[in-house]
């Protein structure tokens, strides 16, 4: 449904909290976060027990860089529904942004416990392990799971390649960058990452070629 459809639903029934929530989601998707927050506020006023609405509003606050307000909303969503995996996932993302990596790891883990097929929770936990904590082997295990669940997720191949490279497994890293590039031929950072691994492997000509391809992809 479009924003116009939700406008009409609200006109017909101004007490319909779900319509405000759904219109808020539509504004959120368009990047109109303040309008989305206004709709979530109204949905909460009409029905304050709906955990997903707090989680949705928290996502807007995160996108606006208002991380503490985002955490408050995720806390409330989890209080209302302790089984809402997306609220743990989103709160984990905010903790990661704030540099509170252990809290992020714990929230991603809870999201996975509640929803074992949550591929992006594995992905984001893996990124936190590798990039932020230097625990590359743990990260690789998470990226393996993310790829099994979603074999077309280019981010998982790119991220696993970075973890392999950081742990000295540059040939495996190149294989993952190959797959990332196959899935997204315009992914400049994959070319740059592969160039670094080629340099370590002493394959300088291929490294230079990848740097050139990265420049083209960036323009």
* Residue pLDDT, tens place only, 15-26: 888 888 999 999
Tens of pLDDT, residues 77-128: 999 999 999 999 999 999 999 999 999 999 999 999 999 999 999 999 999 9
Residues spanned by the domain of 217: 121-219
The yes-or-no verdict on residue 148 having pLDDT over 70 is yes
How many structural domains comprise the chain? 1
The yes-or-no verdict on residue 6 having pLDDT over 70 is no
Answer yes or no: is 104 within a domain. Answer: no
Answer yes or no: is 200 within a domain. Answer: yes
Q: Report yes or no: 162 and 152 within 8 Å, Cβ to Cβ.
A: no
Mean pLDDT, to the nearest integer, of 186-195? Answer: 98
Q: Report yes or no: 1 and 22 within 8 Å, Cβ to Cβ.
A: yes
Contacts for 39 with CB less than 8 Å, ≥ 6 apart: 20, 21, 23, 24, 27
CA distances from 216 to 155, 187, 190 (A): 20, 10, 13
Looking at residue 146, which CATH number applies to its domain? 1.25.40.10
Answer yes or no: is 71 within a domain. Answer: no
Distance CA 49, CA 122 (A): 29
Distance CA 22, CA 57 (A): 12
Answer yes or no: is 102 within a domain. Answer: no
pLDDT band at 65 (very low <50, low <70, confident <90, very high): very high
The yes-or-no verdict on residue 8 having pLDDT over 80 is no
Answer yes or no: is 78 within a domain. Answer: no
Vertex 135: Cα angle to 146 and 162 (nearest 5): 60
Distance CA 144, CA 123 (A): 9
pLDDT band at 10 (very low <50, low <70, confident <90, very high): confident
The yes-or-no verdict on residue 2 having pLDDT over 80 is no
Distance CA 215, CA 179 (A): 19
**Average pLDDT for the chain:** 95
Answer yes or no: is 69 within a domain. Answer: no
Mean pLDDT, to the nearest integer, of 167-196? Answer: 98
């Amino acid at each position: 449904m479009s924003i116009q459809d939700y406008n009409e639903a609200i006109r017909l029934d101004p007490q319909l909290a779900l319509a405000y929530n759904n219109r808020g989601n539509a504004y959120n998707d368009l990047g109109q976060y303040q309008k989305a927050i206004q709709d979530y506020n109204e949905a909460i006023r009409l029905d304050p027990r709906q955990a997903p609405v707090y989680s949705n509003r928290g996502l807007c606050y995160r996108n606006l860089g208002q991380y503490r307000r985002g955490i408050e909303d995720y806390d409330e969503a989890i209080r209302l529904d302790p089984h809402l995996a997306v609220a743990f996932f989103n709160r984990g993302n905010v903790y990661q942004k704030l540099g509170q990596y252990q809290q992020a790891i714990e929230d991603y883990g809870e999201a996975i416990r509640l929803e074992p097929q949550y591929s992006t929770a594995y992905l984001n936990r893996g990124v936190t392990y590798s990039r932020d904590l230097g625990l590359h082997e743990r990260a690789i295990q998470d990226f393996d799971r993310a790829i099994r669940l979603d074999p077309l997720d280019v981010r998982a191949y790119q991220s696993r390649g970075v973890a392999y490279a950081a742990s000295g497994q540059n040939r495996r890293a190149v294989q993952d960058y190959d797959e990332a590039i196959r899935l997204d031929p315009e992914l400049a950072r994959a070319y740059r990452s592969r160039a670094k691994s080629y340099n370590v492997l002493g394959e300088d000509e291929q490294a230079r070629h990848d740097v050139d391809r990265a420049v083209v992809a960036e323009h």
